[in-house]
Amino acid sequence: MKKILYSGLLFIAFFALKTVTAQTKKPLAKPSATTNINASIQRGKAVYATLCVACHQVDGGGVPNLNPPLIKTSYVLGDKKRLINILLNGMQGVDIDGETYSNVMPPVSQFSNQQIADVLTYVRNSFGNKASAVTLTEVNSLRPKK
């Protein structure tokens, strides 16, 4: 319990500092890979709020026994192709880290390739996750012309 509390506090402290740092640097920053990722994360956050949040929850923690968490699982942090394909084709009946999840993940192929890249970049960089961005090119390679 204590451990969770401390990590929670560290998390908050980190963000408090991060806000300060971000504010300081803002006027000097030029468009770069970092700002591109940040823009993608912001757009992805909005996409997440439209549909994903219902099952995966505001904290990305999912629902025990029903909907998988998105926090530091191999599916989220691992092979990007596999991850993109889950959004394009859906997923059902797969155990994750020894736990079963009853609900189906529907395909979200109504999202544009850019929205898929953005929401995955958001998920891979939220809820304690830190991983590379998913780019539009990577989604395009699995689903041309959308």
Q: Report whether 52 contacts 45 (CB < 8 A).
A: no
Identify which of residues 42 and 100 has a Cβ nearer to other proteins in the complex: 100
Single out the residue of 3, 28, 31, 54 in contact with other proteins (rule: CB under 8 A). 54
32 or 110: CB nearest other proteins: 110
Q: Whole-number minimum distance, CB 109 to other proteins, in Å?
A: 9
Binding to other proteins by CB under 8 A, coded x per residue (else -) over 98-117, reads --xxxxx-xxx-x-------
29: buried, middle or exposed (CB in 10 Å: 19+, 13-18, 0-12)?
exposed
Rounded to a whole number of angstroms, the minimum distance from the CB of residue 137 to other proteins is 26
What's the gap between Cα 25 and its chain centre?
Answer: 25
Query: What is the spatial distance between Cα 92 and Cα 98, in angstroms, rounded to a whole number?
Result: 15
Asked if 7 is part of the footprint of other proteins (rule: CB under 8 A), the reply reads no
> CA 67, CA 140: separation in Å to the nearest integer?
27
C-alpha closest to that of 99 among 131, 125, 63: 63
- Give me the residues that bind other proteins (CB under 8 A), please: 5, 9, 12-13, 16-17, 19-20, 23-24, 49, 51, 53-55, 57-59, 61-67, 69, 90, 92-93, 100-104, 106-108, 110
